[in-house]
Amino acid sequence: MSQRLYKRVERTAIQTGCGVSELIVSTLETRMPPLPDRLPPKLAADLSRWSLLDDEALLAIANAVLPAKQQRRYSTLLRQANAGRLNARAQSEWDTLQQEYLRFSQNKAKAQFLLAQRKRASEVDGFLRARNDLPATR
């Protein structure tokens, strides 16, 4: 940890009336909540990496919407696919767009999951602190 960061953590610990170690552990527990045990390795790795993002970045991902042009094209190709009217070029575009939509939806779900986990961890931390009459660390 850089000296500058340590000083910032130390100052916050003093202001909140807790130890430096306690502040670091509490912050990490909130920022990096535990993940379910039985996740596919790729998903677990993604969530671990994404847990380093701040709430603002996660909210941007969670609230993102496909561009209007892409939404319209998706709807058009969906109607054509349901009617069995896709030629080879349109089928290829439809397959690609479905994969993009799936990736987009999965990213939104990951961000929403991490935000919910952080909120839950923060609420538990706040509850325990209030119950033990401990100062807030954030």
Mean per-residue pLDDT pooled into runs of 10, the chain (138 residues) = 88 84 78 78 89 92 93 95 95 95 94 87 58 52
User: How far, in Å, CA of 83 to CA of 75, rounded?
Assistant: 12
Q: What is the pLDDT, as a whole number, of residue 85?
A: 94
pTM: 0.67
pLDDT at 129: 56
Task: Please tell me the chain's helix, strand, coil percentages from 3-state DSSP, rounded to the nearest 5.
Answer: 75, 0, 25
Domain coordinates of the chain in residue numbers?
3-131
Q: What is the predicted pLDDT for the residue at 120?
A: 77
Q: Are 46 and 61 in contact (CB under 8 A)?
A: no
Per DSSP, the three-state class of 35 is: coil
pLDDT of residue 138: 47
